[in-house]
Amino acid sequence: MKILILVALEKEFKLKFNQYFKDSNYKLVYTGVGLINATMITTKYILLYKPDLIINYGSAGNLKNHTGLKNVKQVYIIDKSILPDKYDIKDSYLSYDNKNNEIIVGSSIKFITKPDIWTKENCDLVDMELYGIACACNYFNVPWISRKWVSDNADINSINNWESTLPEGKEMFLNFLTNTNITKLIV
């Protein structure tokens, strides 16, 4: 099974896979920050690598008192300004239903420090890449899962708190990869 792991930045998850996974078919790729970068890089590596599964890992801002590493069940694009008029944001969701899903992510084109009311009510976490990754995966019919590390509280202090939490998130995600039968996660 060929598994592509997509992470926005090297500082979020830098790893030499051959140290942890002997004879593995894992490939780690950094997408860069943002929906456009994530969509382009996901598409590129789906076409080049032809993965059987894509796993997205990344940090996310908290909206509802979550902590730790969370399993994503659904993602919305939350930027109303980029949606056509009369388009209901509730119709923008993409989901991957698996047995371990937990939370809903709102993806934005910007770093969220003041979430709007709709986002607070309908999303658990916010990020800047997952919607683009999920769109590319759905278009090419590639199964995807996402694990988000709750790195901050999506507020004015987020940018200062974000980086200091990354080492703990990396360890939790590595634990997930090494202790999970990934093939059982695909529906």
In the chain, what are the domain boundaries? 3-185
Q: Which of 62, 69, 42, 64 is nearest to 53 (CA)?
A: 42
Query: Does residue 5 have a pLDDT over 90?
Result: yes
The pLDDT assigned to 101 comes to 63
pLDDT digits (tens, 9 = 90+) for 96-154: 544 556 899 988 888 888 888 888 888 999 999 999 999 999 999 999 999 999 988 88
The pLDDT assigned to 156 comes to 81
| Tokens encoding 75 | 């993602």
C-beta of residue 48 within 8 angstroms of C-beta of residue 181: no
Overall CATH class of domain 3-185 = alpha beta
The average confidence (pLDDT) of the chain is 83
CA distance 180 to 8: 22
Please state whether 143 falls in left (phi above 0), alpha (psi between -120 and 50) or beta.
Answer: beta
Percent of the chain with pLDDT over 90: 44
Confidence bin at 88 (pLDDT 50/70/90): low
Instruction: Look at residue 15 and give its three-state secondary structure.
Output: coil
Query: Does residue 93 have a pLDDT over 60?
Result: no
φ, ψ of residue 58 in degrees (nearest 5): 180, 170
The pLDDT assigned to 76 comes to 84
7-32: average pLDDT:
78
DSSP letter string, 54-103: EEEEEEEEESSS--SEEEEEEEEE--GGGSPTT--GGGG-EE---TT--E
Contacts of 108 (CB under 8 A, 6+ apart): 35, 77, 78, 79, 126, 127, 128
Q: Between residues 164 and 39, which one has the greater pLDDT?
A: 39
| Tokens encoding 102 | 């937990």
pLDDT digits (tens, 9 = 90+) for 150-168: 988 888 877 777 778 888 8
